[in-house]
Structure 1
Amino acid sequence: MNSSQDPNSCFKKSNVARGGGLHRVLCMQGGDDDSSYAKNSEAPASAISLCRPLLLTTIESMKIFFRNEEEAESLRVADLGCATGYNTLATVDMVVEALRQRYINQCGFEPEFEAFFSDLPSNDFNSLFRSLSNIGILSDNKRKQYYAAGVPGSFYGRLFPRRKLHVAVSLSALHWLSQIPDGVLDKRSAAWNKGRVWIDGAKKEVVEAYAKQSEKDLEDFLKCRKEEIVQGGMLFLLMGGRPASQQPDNQLSDPDSRAKHPFTTSLDQAWQDLINEGMIDEETRDGFNIPAYMRSTEEVERAIRRCGGFEIERMEYSRIVELHRRSKSSG
């Protein structure tokens, strides 16, 4: 499942010019104030809502792992790139509840569940863990819906032992790259992205560097999940994407979605204004590039085929249309 997503989500940046530092500092803005990701995640919420029917249908078609309670182990679900806030818990709650109902209806018993919330170490896990106290209680008032754990680390590397997970989901996260592509920040490279902060409208060498990094990252992600997911398990992906007809140097031109907002142009101009006002120099501006790439369905399918181990049940590109209503207060 591939869906258009605005990369201008609230993320925290602190000297992310070199790829090695991204894992330590790049994350959604924590807390619950007006600038937090929790208060500014309408676009991911729209994407998740759009894919909900497909996710539930896929769960219904999954293999039944345990036919009776005596042989049953816990079912293990992972949210990869979980961030924090309502979207995080709503997604896992939805997956767990769908699995629970299926086992009750088809097998006559209710297995236990483990839920793993994984993101970079810089993620606001404290806010997430505080939210977990609101997980619903079952009717017997003895057990929570699932046993939860946090797993800090990059999903471009291994996070779990072999054959650990029954369901892994990654929603609105995989368009973020593991690093700024090599050469983009190097003055000696043909891919040096001087004067820009992303690849929209950039020269061919810059676009190719981003595409190459994106390809490597997705293959690394898939290879790790191939080891971690049990046979018959499910991997469900929702990520920022673009139509197949849209070239990679034109990442956000979808005319019917929020992504049409030319935020990269605005951001380029904002940096230039800071330079013109003498607040920063050009070298500082040229050291900033957004580590994100919107893949086409063809790029995703190619990576899955190359990795092996997965069967594609369904893949599609969907456009998100958001309507923002502003109300005027009187008096």
Structure 2
Amino acid sequence: MAALETSTFSEAFSMKGGDGPDGYAKNSTFQRGVVDATKELLSKAIAENLDIEILSSSKTFTIADLGCSVGPNTFYSVQNILEAVEYKCQTQGLNAEMPEFQVVFNDNTPNDFNTLFKSLPQDRRYYAVGVPGSFYGRLFPNASVQVVHSSYANHWLSRVPKEVADRNSPAWNKGRIHYSNSTDAVLKAYEAQYAEDMECFLNVRAQEIVYGGLMVLIIIGRPDGTPHSLSQANMTFQILGSCLVDLVRKGIVDEKKVDSFNLPMYCMSPGEVEAAVGRNGCFSMERIENLPAFAPPDNVSKAKLLATHMRAAMEGVVKQHFGEEILDEVFDLYLKKIEEQSSIFDAGKLISFLVVLKRKA
């Protein structure tokens, strides 16, 4: 048996688990809004692009959700896919040949799989499987998955570019935690890490997805041609970095700890994704389009919503580097700054876009 192909360098980051008020399960309404916005587009993509031979050639239909976190959004996503596949079977007269469905939930090893599986829908029409591990490495056997889905996960890099934490490198990112307000050398290091990761991601998925199968990605990014410094997502990370610098000034955090801390995230554009798919050559680009912007209810503070979502997503990586003691202070300060700098909601450029890829024969 051949050795499994896995990434030997990936760092493991995960959303805050549990079902408490600060956890990802309770603070992912933005992501849920995007899932809802893609439902019809997803159904159309499966109806138009999923090969009929795939439906009739196997008794088991496998859906994999990469970066599933702890729910509940992953359950909505896979249910939308399952219903779309069932509808395609019905319209093609394959009711008698309806496959059994298996859903594979994947995330990094530290993910709170206990909370995820405790909250599985009781009325689900699929067999549930958990596969821990980085999606930058092999996760599944050759040609074993019909549909791969991943939402709001690909902006996480496999690791921080090593140059930005090296004091002797021109790309040393002293005093900052991200690339968007830094030097060209730091930006190039992040761009190179993104290109390497995306190449790896596409290569391993090409081995796992059956010919004619689909990969659906929902990506948070920036419009083509938008400078990284004007990406709304990147602007929010800059504010988080300024909070840590403030704690250094107060003597709460060691300056060297901030100098050695960088976020493993990259805000990509649709054009960058198209270029990566073209270089890989194993997938055809069936659809790429921007999704409607999510608008929170009028009675919800945008600043508070952003702050709670940021903590649910980033607490783990901050805690891993700085320890637990500063968490409340840094995220309380973050909320205060977001409220004071609310102009970023209008000044920053932010898009979510849908990418549908088909595995070439």
| TM surpasses 0.5 | yes
Structure 1 residue 39 and structure 2 residue 19: aligned?
A: no
* 8 Å CA contact retained: 1:116, 1:149: yes
Q: CA 1:20–1:157 in 2, change beyond 3 Å: closer, same or farther?
A: closer
- Aligned residue in 1 for 2:62: 76
- Aligned residue in 2 for 1:220: 200
> What's the offset of the Cα at 1:290?
1.1
Alignment counterpart, residue 29 of structure 1, candidates 9, 13, 16: 16
Alignment counterpart, residue 108 of structure 2, candidates 98, 111, 120: 120
Structure 1 residue 108 and structure 2 residue 88: aligned?
A: no
Identical positions, percent: 38
The aligned runs of 1:124-203 (5 Å cut-off) are 124-132=112-120, 134-136=121-123, 145-203=125-183
> What's the offset of the Cα at 1:155?
0.4
> What's the offset of the Cα at 1:263?
2.4
TM-score by length of 1: 0.83
The aligned runs of 1:213-292 (5 Å cut-off) are 213-252=193-232, 259=233, 262-292=235-265
Structure with the larger helix share? 2
> What's the offset of the Cα at 1:21?
7.0
Report the residue type matching 2:114 in the other structure.
N
* 8 Å CA contact retained: 1:210, 1:293: yes
Of stretches 174-183 and 193-202 in structure 1, the one that deviates more from structure 2 is 193-202
In 1: Cα distance, 2:199 partner to 2:10 partner: 21
Report the residue type matching 2:248 in the other structure.
I
The aligned runs of 1:304-315 (5 Å cut-off) are 304-315=277-288
Q: 3-state SS of the aligned residue for 2:130?
A: strand
Query: What do the CA deviations read for 1:222-258 (whole angstroms, capped 9, x no partner)?
Result: 0001000001100111111111120234432xxxxxx
Of stretches 231-240 and 268-277 in structure 1, the one that deviates more from structure 2 is 268-277
Q: CA 1:246–1:288 in 2, change beyond 3 Å: closer, same or farther?
A: same
Query: What do the CA deviations read for 1:4-49 (whole angstroms, capped 9, x no partner)?
Result: xxxxxxxxxxxxxxx95722xx101001111000111122112222
Report the residue type matching 2:209 in the other structure.
I
Q: CA 1:327–1:104 in 2, change beyond 3 Å: closer, same or farther?
A: closer
Q: 3-state SS of the aligned residue for 2:285?
A: coil
Report the residue type matching 2:52 in the other structure.
I
> What's the offset of the Cα at 1:319?
5.6
- Aligned residue in 2 for 1:50: 37
Q: CA 1:67–1:78 in 2, change beyond 3 Å: closer, same or farther?
A: closer
> What's the offset of the Cα at 1:82?
0.8
Structure 1 residue 63 and structure 2 residue 43: aligned?
A: no
Q: CA 1:327–1:320 in 2, change beyond 3 Å: closer, same or farther?
A: closer
Q: 3-state SS of the aligned residue for 2:211?
A: strand
Aligned length: 291
Report the residue type matching 1:186 in the other structure.
D
Query: What do the CA deviations read for 1:287-319 (whole angstroms, capped 9, x no partner)?
Result: 211111111111101110111110101112346
Q: CA 1:187–1:58 in 2, change beyond 3 Å: closer, same or farther?
A: same
Q: Alpha carbon RMSD of aligned pairs, Å?
A: 2.0
* 8 Å CA contact retained: 2:157, 2:197: yes
In 1: Cα distance, 2:10 partner to 2:95 partner: 49
> What's the offset of the Cα at 1:98?
1.5
> What's the offset of the Cα at 1:198?
0.9
Q: 3-state SS of the aligned residue for 1:183?
A: helix
TM-score by length of 2: 0.76
In 1: Cα distance, 2:159 partner to 2:15 partner: 16
* 8 Å CA contact retained: 2:155, 2:266: yes
Q: 3-state SS of the aligned residue for 1:191?
A: coil
Report the residue type matching 2:101 in the other structure.
F
Report the residue type matching 1:310 in the other structure.
F
> What's the offset of the Cα at 1:53?
1.9
- Aligned residue in 1 for 2:290: 317
Report the residue type matching 2:64 in the other structure.
A
In 2: Cα distance, 1:288 partner to 1:203 partner: 16
